[in-house]
């Protein structure tokens, strides 16, 4: 099936998504971010005291070049490297600085030739998990477990001009903040609590960023 339904949570109706808009320091850079999960889009649409909209689209993926960072072809470190190349980390510790350089040398993927990118969504909580890994606080295995917390699913990043021409607006659904803002908070609170459980003990058999750096030097 070539056509898929996507949802975008927003404080406004977005009937004509524009190519090359958005913040350059979002997860994968400038583009349009969607999900296939309407309940998640509803949570992303609202804020405290502010209602929102779920914009519904249909994307024809036939002929589009799609990069799926969650596929078996790519480890979590590829996703992390893409994220760190776009988000602002402000790394100061030597291990974090060297870790970022290591990841860029070994796990860099250019997004230039892709129309659509699939991968985890890194909101503030989840970006803190990535920061913990690059600071040598959690292992690769712990990072992988952490990214499944909160069940955020896969986000679809509409990147190229060609992909935008194949994205059709269907409708916009109003979202009540009194219901979905609390759900958003509950999801975040649970993810943070589960993260504490995962990272409460050192992963003695795990691989940390410092291990990867040292292996390269051998």
Give the C-alpha separation, 9 to 19, whole Å.
17
- Say what the pTM is: 0.89
Residue 149's pLDDT is 66
β-bridge mates for residue 68, sequence order:
118
Alpha-carbon distance of 196 to 190, in angstroms, equals 10
| pLDDT, tens digit, 9 for 90 and up, residues 176-204 | 999 999 998 898 888 788 878 877 878 89
Check whether 150 has a pLDDT greater than 60: no
pLDDT classification of 117: cutoffs 50, 70, 90: very high
- Residues 113, 106: contact at Cβ < 8 Å? no
CB of 182 within 8 A of CB of 155? no
Q: 119: how many CB neighbours lie within 10 A of its CB?
A: 23
């Amino acid at each position: 099936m070539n056509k898929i339904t996507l949802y975008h949570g927003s404080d406004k109706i977005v009937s004509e998504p524009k190519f090359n808009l958005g913040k350059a320091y979002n997860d994968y850079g400038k583009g349009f971010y969607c999900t296939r999960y309407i309940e998640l889009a509803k949570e992303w649409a609202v804020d405290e005291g502010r209602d929102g909209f779920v914009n519904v689209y249909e994307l024809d993926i036939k002929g589009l070049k799609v990069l799926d960072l969650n596929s078996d072809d790519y480890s979590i470190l590829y996703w992390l490297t893409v994220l760190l190349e776009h988000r602002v980390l402000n790394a100061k510790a030597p291990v974090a600085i060297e870790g970022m350089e290591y990841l860029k040398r070994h796990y860099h993927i250019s997004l230039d030739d892709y129309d659509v990118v699939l991968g985890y969504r890194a909101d503030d909580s989840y970006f803190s998990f990535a920061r913990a890994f690059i600071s040598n606080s959690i292992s690769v295995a712990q990072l992988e477990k952490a990214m499944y917390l909160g069940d955020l699913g896969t986000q679809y990043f509409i990147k190229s001009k060609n992909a935008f021409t194949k994205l059709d607006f269907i409708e916009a659904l109003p979202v009540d903040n009194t219901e979905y803002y609390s759900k958003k908070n509950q999801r975040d609170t649970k993810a943070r609590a589960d993260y504490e459980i995962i990272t409460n003990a050192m992963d003695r058999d795990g691989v940390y960023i410092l291990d990867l750096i040292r292996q390269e030097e051998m």
